[in-house]
Chain A
Amino acid sequence: MFRILIICLVFFSPSKLIALIEVDITRGNLNPLPIAVSPLSIDENSRKNFEKILKKKDIGSEISIVVEKNLKTSGLFNPLNKDAFLQAPDIANLKPRFEDWNLIKAQALITGKVSFVDDKLRVEFRLWDVLAGKEMMALAFTTVPNNWRRVGHIITDKVYERLTGEKGYFDTRIIYVAEDGPKTRRIKKLAIMDQDGANNKFLTLGNELVLTPRFNPTSQMVTYLSYFKNLPRVYLLDIETGMQEVVGDFPGMTFAPRFSPDGKKIIMSFAKDGNSDIYTMNLENRIVEKITNHPSIDTSPSYSPDGKYICFNSDRSGYQQIYIMKNDGSGVKRISFGKGLYGTPVWSPRGDLIAFTKLHKGKFYIGVMRTDGSGERLLTENFYQEAPSWSPNGRVLIFYRETETDDKGKGFSAKLWSIDLTGYNERLVNTPTDASDPSWSSLLSN
């Protein structure tokens, strides 16, 4: 069941080479594919130029480290120790001596070359099937030198796609809430970072409480909740310009915002007189529509990727459960029927699953179910965790976890974690401060 599927097919077709190695990502992977990531070769002149601009001694090696870390984090690959590599990077990139790579048990090999061309960073890389002794892929990009980490992420995405048959999720960013201070008076700021934790940047100063940031489909805009002037309202933030505006003119708290899949609407809850209902606001014409109309709490709405349906959280049955409805609010149907309380439903970008948080007998779970509520699977159990967000390929979930405090109320922390849809490969996502409410961007390079 947990065995990795590596299909080595040799096609004696002279015109076309078809995938030789394949990584199956649909099951837990206890046998990650051994892969050698050779440092990208670099000529002395280019090396000096990049050292001047980027303050990095050998940018070819740095990029390969980014790729290696990504591959390792995916849990599907096992990057081999560079000390064991016999072939020099430049020669390997021309024509690997497959026997050497075979010897260290590498099944796939990444080689490449970095050069300084017209003040730009040019990177070419190749993916090799070591067992078959064949080149699987060769690509080159040119970009501004400061984008060097993104180059590493894009290479990883291409390799991942070639070997698994599905799009990657490495050239992406995470927006989240950075936390600091005592539990009773947390200071919270919006923060954004690359998927691997690099390039962390704070977007607000922490003067007011901010919660639940979520990207729009192009990942240029963010909608979130801010307590600016002690009025909890949904806001819109343009990441590039820093421009912020309040969404709509509601006489009360608006919260739990998300974008529609076309990015044209924001869907959110509006609370008034003790009743929370779901509303949408069209960002182009500012038209507000009421979607649910029920005296219970209706919140945490999330669209299906085609925009036709909405899943949401309601306590109309007496307790928190997950419901789906058409995008106009009709056809409301409860889908969660297991034991316990269910919250934070989020529709998978692939459309087939809904991720959720579940509370049962004092434990919190992150799980997934089909959109009709069948096939519930709990991926992870903990003292407290919630708010899953999907990787753009729908293979990984990121969420946050809080620790139990001791008798004196000490020892509180909040951190981001990720887990594969398979329930394997659970990992702490490094952040410079405590963190919560993560939201994964789309693939930036698409």
Chain B
Amino acid sequence: MKLLSSCEKVKKRNIDQGAIMKLNKILKNAFLIIFACIALSACATSKKTGQMQGDVYTGTDTVEYLASGVPDRVFFATNESVLTTASRETLRKQAAWLRKNSKITVVLEGHADERGTREYNLALGERRANAAKDYLMTYGISSDRISVLSYGKERPVDSGSNPLAWSKNRRSVTVKAN
């Protein structure tokens, strides 16, 4: 008798689970559709407003944060290592954060896009990271706390072969080293 009732229970639970799973599926599908709509509209709007100014990336897709409100990376124009107004603002935030957290040291990783020869790009990545380093130093961060590492075109974040992907890859990323 006991055995039987437990069997029944199991069966019941199975049925319940089945129903929940079905519901889940429906919800998931609905979410997927909603998500897809959002994604599509995002694409549409991004195309309109542009995620690039000139050919400098201005979006936030790949950006991570060192702390709340402190983006970890700045972007560059093709073949350039000049900091844009937006880049300088980001670096000032990083400098403020570094001043507040005086024990933290960072590595500035400089990158180039895939549309250049490997050796030149190694040099270009180094030049970009140093542009960021120089700016942090003018805002009072000691050079002892900043090291520089160029990856050239070896570590893209976006594997696309299009101008938007390349703009995301032309970057200097500030990475916590300790």
Contact, CB under 8 Å: A319 / B79: yes
Contact, CB under 8 Å: B122 / A271: yes
Contacts of B124 in A (CB 8 A): 297
Complex CA–CA separation, A407 to B159 (angstroms)? 10
Most buried by A among B115, B117, B119, B149: B119
Interface assignment of A52: CB less than 8 Å from any CB of chain B: no
Complex CA–CA separation, A275 to B165 (angstroms)? 27
Total number of A-B contacts with CB less than 8 angstroms?
A: 106
Interface assignment of A196: CB less than 8 Å from any CB of chain B: no
Size band of the A side of the interface?
A: 35 or more
Give the nearest-CB partner of A402 in chain B: B114
Interface membership of chain B positions 70-106, coded 1 if the CB is closer than 8 angstroms to chain A and 0 otherwise:
0000000001010000000000000000000000000
Q: Kindly provide the distance from the CB of A413 to the nearest chain B CB, expressed in whole angstroms.
A: 12
Contacts of B123 in A (CB 8 A): 255, 269, 271, 276, 297, 299
Partner among A184, A211, A271, A359 whose Cβ is within 8 Å of the Cβ of B126: A271
Contact, CB under 8 Å: B117 / A274: no
Interface assignment of A56: CB less than 8 Å from any CB of chain B: no
Contact, CB under 8 Å: A274 / B165: no
Complex CA–CA separation, A186 to B154 (angstroms)? 8
Q: Kindly provide the distance from the CB of A243 to the nearest chain B CB, expressed in whole angstroms.
A: 25
Contacts of B148 in A (CB 8 A): 252
Partner among A341, A362, A386 whose Cβ is within 8 Å of the Cβ of B118: A386
Interface assignment of A409: CB less than 8 Å from any CB of chain B: yes
Interface membership of chain B positions 128-169, coded 1 if the CB is closer than 8 angstroms to chain A and 0 otherwise:
011100100000000000001110001111111110010000
The answer to whether residues A211 and B160 also contact, given A274-B126, A297-B127 and a CB cut-off of 8 A, is: no
The answer to whether residues A232 and B150 also contact, given A297-B127, A300-B119, A384-B114 and a CB cut-off of 8 A, is: yes
Q: Kindly provide the distance from the CB of B40 to the nearest chain A CB, expressed in whole angstroms.
A: 14
Interface assignment of B35: CB less than 8 Å from any CB of chain A: no
Contact, CB under 8 Å: A274 / B127: yes
Partner among A253, A275, A320, A408 whose Cβ is within 8 Å of the Cβ of B120: A320
Q: Kindly provide the distance from the CB of B122 to the nearest chain A CB, expressed in whole angstroms.
A: 5
Contacts of A255 in B (CB 8 A): 119, 122-123
Interface assignment of A437: CB less than 8 Å from any CB of chain B: yes
Give the nearest-CB partner of B150 in chain A: A253
Contacts of A275 in B (CB 8 A): 127
Contacts of B69 in A (CB 8 A): none
Complex CA–CA separation, A142 to B59 (angstroms)? 67
The answer to whether residues A409 and B120 also contact, given A232-B149, A276-B126 and a CB cut-off of 8 A, is: no
The answer to whether residues A274 and B161 also contact, given A253-B122, A299-B120, A359-B116 and a CB cut-off of 8 A, is: no
Give the nearest-CB partner of A177 in chain B: B118
Q: Kindly provide the distance from the CB of B150 to the nearest chain A CB, expressed in whole angstroms.
A: 6
Complex CA–CA separation, A273 to B143 (angstroms)? 11
Contact, CB under 8 Å: A313 / B117: yes
Contact, CB under 8 Å: A184 / B159: yes
Interface membership of chain B positions 28-65, coded 1 if the CB is closer than 8 angstroms to chain A and 0 otherwise:
00000000000000000000000000000000000000
Contact, CB under 8 Å: A184 / B115: no
Given contacts A269-B123, A405-B160, 17 further A-B contacts (CB under 8 A): A184-B156, A212-B119, A230-B149, A269-B119, A269-B122, A271-B127, A275-B127, A276-B126, A297-B120, A300-B117, A315-B120, A343-B119, A344-B117, A344-B119, A383-B161, A402-B114, A409-B165
